[in-house]
Amino acid sequence: MTITWNKDSFRRRVNDLYRSELARVWLPAVCLLTALVGGMSFLLLRGEGQARGQLEERYALRGVLASHFVSSYVRDVQARETAYATNLLAGREVTAAEFALVSRTFGFDAAVLLDGEGRALNVLPAKPELIGKRLDGKYAHLRAAVAGRSAVSGVVPSAARAEPIVALAVPFETPFGRRVFSGGTPIATTPLGPYLDNTLPFKG
């Protein structure tokens, strides 16, 4: 059977999803980030010259705020992953071009699409020798997603190039069974990098 892929039509579907998710996810996240950073700057200015105990309290508060921001960011990205995957990666066959377009919409440097048994259906960057091989045994976050739970990795080597990334994996249902979409990028290139650099206390 020959599958005809209309690149322009598929790209329009991706763009439509992106626009619909932009206001719901990214704008509130940017507002939250601005409010948090502004609030912490105010606390730091007001706290100059105060005792070490108060400084430690502020550091503790910054850690709590960072934790909340990271959790919110992860939930929002995973919700978008699920929406995109369910709409665009649930067909009987997903071409490499389709998978690359969806993955790069998120800014992922590395991504995989797995079937319900943890076998690779698509890999970005392309690595044909991985197609059909189980990847869930090597990565705990993929194993959790295959079992039906969204997960975040620690810093792990990407499947294709073994580059260090942090990956977010989500399961989603299709007419052909469960699949897993997982994408990752170096944390410094995400909104989390600059935020954590300016929020977490210095070591030492």
pLDDT tens for each residue of 99-123: 999 999 998 989 999 999 999 999 9
Residue 30 has pLDDT above 50, yes or no: yes
pLDDT tens for each residue of 151-165: 988 887 777 777 788
pLDDT at 74: 83
**Residue 169 near residue 77, CB atoms below 8 Å:** no
Mean local confidence (pLDDT), 43-53: 59
pLDDT band at 185 (very low <50, low <70, confident <90, very high): confident
**Please, which contacts does 188-192 make with residues 24 or more away whose CB atoms are closer than 8 Å?**
189/107, 189/109, 190/73, 190/107, 190/166, 191/29, 191/33, 191/73, 192/69, 192/70, 192/73
**What does the chain come to in residues?**
204
pLDDT band at 194 (very low <50, low <70, confident <90, very high): low
What is the Cα–Cα distance from 90 to 53, expressed in whole angstroms? 54
Q: Maximum CA pair distance of the chain?
A: 74
What is the Cα–Cα distance from 33 to 53, expressed in whole angstroms? 26
Q: Which two tokens stand for residue 126?
A: 């392309």
pLDDT at 171: 98
What is the Cα–Cα distance from 112 to 101, expressed in whole angstroms? 13
Residue 174 has pLDDT above 60, yes or no: yes
pLDDT at 25: 55
Residue 187 has pLDDT above 80, yes or no: no
Average pLDDT, the chain: 78
pLDDT at 89: 97
Q: Residue 124 — φ and ψ, nearest 5°?
A: -130, 125
Q: Which two tokens stand for residue 76?
A: 């929002």
Mean local confidence (pLDDT), 71-92: 92
Name which CATH class applies to 8-204: alpha beta
pLDDT at 95: 95
Residue 201 has pLDDT above 50, yes or no: no
What is the Cα–Cα distance from 35 to 42, expressed in whole angstroms? 11
